[in-house]
Chains A and B, each alone.
Chain A
């Protein structure tokens, strides 16, 4: 006997359960729940492995500014700082570009260009991060050193942020690489958000005599701002955890930096560049504690972003 049941718009076919069905249901439930178990397990094991470092440094670990294996002092502050600065830079550069792409794709693009362009932008996300890293070392880094950084310095050199001798293998380069890497995420999600804006909003703006850009600003961007914000946070989540490309371009110096043209280190790049040489048990424990911090930060960012985007897209659908 077949019973159709509509559950949240999806039709489910219910069959009378046979032993095979029950086994299959049990197995897939188990696998699905195992993912949750895995997450818990990873956290617990990271915590145990970092236990000694946590006991030794406690919360002071987060504010400690020295990483010295000789004197056995380990602090996370320079890496948290490096992570915040590179991610902020990535958002600063990546969000406007991504929004431009999203606006073009949802509001302006002729129909024939829309699908191929969307595809290509999403393809950017498929480039392995080590390839971005290589490109960063051999192409972007030198270009930054010779052209871009001196150029930026000529205009904004009065700010401490842009002082010093450009080296190309520095925080600025890492930020630019990150910006490129988060563009596909942010532009794809913001495009979804813009497409979810009902046409009645565009018409409202148009009928007041708005130009195309004014219509986009007034009727579309404002309406979708929660979704766009969520998209940016999702990109932030990716930037915070990105390891390979950053490790290859940031210059790897475990200290605070005053200028973007100095080398630095993020949490992820510090772990990646130190773990081979880390002196057990304390330095290794400290690295694992760094990992724990990174995991929690990125978990929260992603959770928050998904809540934002999810809520917006649901509301958007309801409005039309």
Chain B
């Protein structure tokens, strides 16, 4: 996935400016930066979620398989590029099974067998199957926070997206639940291209192959995670990762 000169606004306020960036296939790309630097806005531009906010505007291109997602219907773009949000947001009135099946049903899949298989596979991929296999008909909101987040990951995976975007997926979770999700991210990159926004630098260092550092709506530096953390080229990056601000 290739991002080309993306800028985004909330009303008159410019949130990110002229960002160009590559995300490698089947790898994990991290985006870090202090609060308000525009990292969430950037990731929301990657599956056209940004424009669902009233008065929000985007300019630039995001190429997936060589084609600009802004030339395609937003609905089909979001089926190819899934997203997991900061706060787990399962559908509370649906069972665990129905939560995972929701996206497939939107795509018109009605066959029980197909749904069964997809739910099983997605829950396994999200490392949740063993914990919920006996309670698939329970409400999604009966799970713990970490389980809910993995349920949301399973829900996003069920439609077999090419890319999975994660917007601070662990910020509402405790350290144990966080560790589980990080392990999961590591496993998922075999099959998916992952982009993860995090304000937690250690997390980026642990899971991401490449990391981008953003500040005040601009992309400051991007590189192999190890290099970025050990030998940052920019002074700004260095002061951020050494904890001098942010």
Query: Could you list which residues of chain A lie within 8 angstroms of chain B, going by C-beta atoms?
Result: 111, 198, 200-211, 214, 218-219, 222-223, 225, 319
- B contacts with A, residue count (CB < 8 A): 27
Let me know if B33 is at the binding interface, CB within 8 A. Answer: no
Say whether A211 contacts B90, CB under 8 Å: no
Query: Could you list which residues of chain B lie within 8 angstroms of chain A, going by C-beta atoms?
Result: 47, 49, 52, 54, 75-79, 82-83, 85, 87, 89-94, 102-103, 106-107, 152, 155-156, 159
Cα A214 to Cα B75 in complex, Å, equals: 11
Say whether A209 contacts B159, CB under 8 Å: yes
For A208, give its contact among B52, B92, B94, B155 (CB under 8 Å): B155
Say whether A200 contacts B87, CB under 8 Å: yes
Chain B nearest CB from A166 CB (Å) reads 42
Cα A205 to Cα B49 in complex, Å, equals: 11
Q: A203-B85, A209-B106 are in contact. Are A219 and B91 (CB under 8 A)?
A: yes
Q: Which residue of B is nearest A217, CB measured?
A: B106
Cα A135 to Cα B111 in complex, Å, equals: 51
Cα A205 to Cα B93 in complex, Å, equals: 13
Q: Which residue of B is nearest A319, CB measured?
A: B92
What are the residues of chain B within 8 A of A204 when measuring CB–CB?
A: 85, 89-91, 152, 155
Since A207-B49, A218-B91 are in contact, a sample of 10 more A-B pairs with Cβ atoms closer than 8 Å, ordered by chain A residue number, is A111-B54, A207-B78, A208-B78, A208-B102, A208-B159, A209-B79, A209-B106, A210-B75, A223-B91, A223-B92
What are the residues of chain A within 8 A of B79 when measuring CB–CB?
A: 208-209
Say whether A211 contacts B83, CB under 8 Å: no
Cα A198 to Cα B92 in complex, Å, equals: 12
Say whether A203 contacts B52, CB under 8 Å: yes
What are the residues of chain A within 8 A of B93 when measuring CB–CB?
A: 222-223, 225
Say whether A222 contacts B52, CB under 8 Å: no
What are the residues of chain A within 8 A of B159 when measuring CB–CB?
A: 208-209
